[in-house]
Amino acid sequence: MTAADARAAAARIVGRVDREGAFSNVVSRTETKGMNPSDAGVARAIAYDALRNLTQIDVEVDRASKRPLDRIDRPLLDLLRVGVAELGRSDRPDALTVDAVVRAAKRSNPSYAPFANAVLRKVARSAPRLHPDMPAWLTAEMSSVFDDHEIEAFWEASLQSPELGIRGSGTPGGYVPVPGIEGAWLGSGPIPKGFEIQDPASVAVGLAVSARPGEVVLDMSAAPGGKTGQLVDDGARVIAADLHPRRTRQAARRVPGASWVIADGRTAPFEPATFDAVLLDAPCTGLGTLRRRPEIIRRTGTEDVTNLATIAGDLLASAIELVRPGGRVVYSVCTVTPSETVEVVAPYPARPPDLQLPGRALGKGWLLAPHLGPTDGMFIAIIDR
Ligand SMILES: C[S@@+](CC[C@H](N)C(=O)[O-])C[C@H]1O[C@@H](n2cnc3c(N)ncnc32)[C@H](O)[C@@H]1O
């Protein structure tokens, strides 16, 4: 494995996220499969830098290139993007970066090499400092609840690369437990047997449900089933529903211990007051997960926030109907916009989970976030019936 292989893998990740709509946390694993852990780590880190800074990087490439961007072959453009991303990090000699990317370009197509060399040398001379600004629409979205200082802290934390989060029981080598979130571990390296990838914030949601053996729990928007598996492991009888057939089928294979149903949670085929607990891990913008999926910022806008907040509100009304008196609804979203978090639960007598989680109280719920602790962003609120 060479430095060029790692840059080639990084370019494939960028291309798949940019043009196929793939999620970086998924393709960064598939495209580095079989690489040694250190090269895979380098490839992922450069790809993430490129994805975080893609808009500025394309401006730099355009400035340094004699050809307009849309006339550069896509595989070559992706290699240039990872080259510029790495030059922007400035912790490696520029000549080594240029050499590795040019070698990867040559391997892809020998005619790419002189062009890649010329563009990257020109970019290196201008020594760009890459740092994306938070989009104005997101600042505006957040400002009704967060002050400027906290918005800035959230953004800076969202630009960092997180460690890998895993969940399971036992003591996995190479990982450390996350204080306050039992069963959640952070670290790096291979995923130990019996553990699965899950950010500590997601593990916290499962803990907030506190499903007990014998309870009947509805996981109302459950695919891909990360939290469903946790509820099953806790011994509950879990009915798991999701709107999307393909996602539901995949999740059913992943978590066979739950009973899976394809259903719209707003019109779910269940009697009112049926469940001991309902988990509504609602569809949302995912803006709390920017560390792992930086592309979300370019795929999201204010209309998405508004639409998803409306769906979440409708799903929550339905979830409350389905839970029995004395039961509870756990509402969670992996985002930080007030419209999708505090405002959705505002009409109800909601409360934060009864746990010592990292993060802080927000409205009637609890916020975990990368600027408040070692987790992705997640808002959790409980409504007792
Ligand atoms: C945040 S994801 C759930 C993640 C899941 N709880 C986990 O831990 O793996 C939200 C899910 O809501 C589903 N969804 C969207 N609209 C829905 C609806 N009206 N009813 C039920 N599920 C819906 C999406 O298909 C998506 O799988």
For the segment 94-109, what is each residue's pLDDT rounded down to a tens digit? 999 999 999 999 999 9
Above pLDDT 90, what percent of the chain?
90
Site to probe by mutation for ligand 1, drawn from 242, 267, 376 as the one with most ligand atoms within 8 Å of Cβ, is: 242
Q: Is the CB of 254 under 6 A from ligand 1?
A: no
Under a CB-based contact definition with an 8 Å cutoff, are residues 282 and 313 in contact?
no
pLDDT value at residue 170: 86
Q: Characterize 153-181 residue by residue with b for buried, 16 or more Cβ atoms within 10 angstroms of its Cβ, and e for exposed.
A: bbbebbbeebbbbbbbeeebeebeebebb
Q: Which residue has the CA at smallest separation from atom 15 of ligand 1?
A: 283
Q: Is the CB of 308 under 6 A from ligand 1?
A: no
Above pLDDT 70, what percent of the chain?
99
Q: Which residue has the CA at smallest separation from atom 17 of ligand 1?
A: 243
Residue 90 confidence (pLDDT) above 80: no
Q: Which atom of ligand 1 is nearest to the CA of 315?
A: 19
* Cα–Cα distance, 215 to 231 (Å, whole number): 10
pLDDT value at residue 349: 97
Mean pLDDT on 70-83: 97
Mean pLDDT on 304-331: 98
Q: Is the CB of 243 under 6 A from ligand 1?
A: yes
For the segment 160-179, what is each residue's pLDDT rounded down to a tens digit? 999 999 999 888 988 999 99
Mean pLDDT on 82-90: 90
Q: Is the CB of 249 under 6 A from ligand 1?
A: no
Q: Which atom of ligand 1 is nearest to the CA of 286?
A: 1
Q: Is the CB of 224 under 6 A from ligand 1?
A: yes
pLDDT value at residue 212: 94
Q: Which residue has the CA at smallest separation from atom 6 of ligand 1?
A: 222
| Averaged pLDDT score across all residues of the chain | 95
Dig out the tokens for 268 from the structure: 């779910």
Residue 219 confidence (pLDDT) above 80: yes
Under a CB-based contact definition with an 8 Å cutoff, are residues 282 and 224 in contact?
no
pLDDT value at residue 196: 92
Hey, which residues does 350 pair with through a beta bridge? 383
Q: Is the CB of 350 under 6 A from ligand 1?
A: no
Q: Which atom of ligand 1 is nearest to the CA of 311?
A: 19
Q: Is the CB of 167 under 6 A from ligand 1?
A: no
pLDDT value at residue 127: 85
What domains appear along the chain, each with residue ranges and CATH number?
A: 3-126 (1.10.940.10), 199-384 (3.40.50.150)
Res. 233 pLDDT band, cuts 50 70 90:
very high
Q: Which residue has the higher pLDDT, 188 or 103?
A: 103
Site to probe by mutation for ligand 1, drawn from 221, 287, 310, 311 as the one with most ligand atoms within 8 Å of Cβ, is: 221
Q: Is the CB of 221 under 6 A from ligand 1?
A: yes
In terms of Cβ atoms closer than 10 Å to its own Cβ (0-12, 13-18, 19+), residue 192 is middle
Mean pLDDT on 294-300: 95
Q: Tell me the CA–centroid distance for residue 375 and ligand 1, in Å.
A: 20
Residue 344 confidence (pLDDT) above 80: yes
For the segment 357-378, what is each residue's pLDDT rounded down to a tens digit? 999 999 999 999 999 999 999 9
Res. 1 pLDDT band, cuts 50 70 90:
low
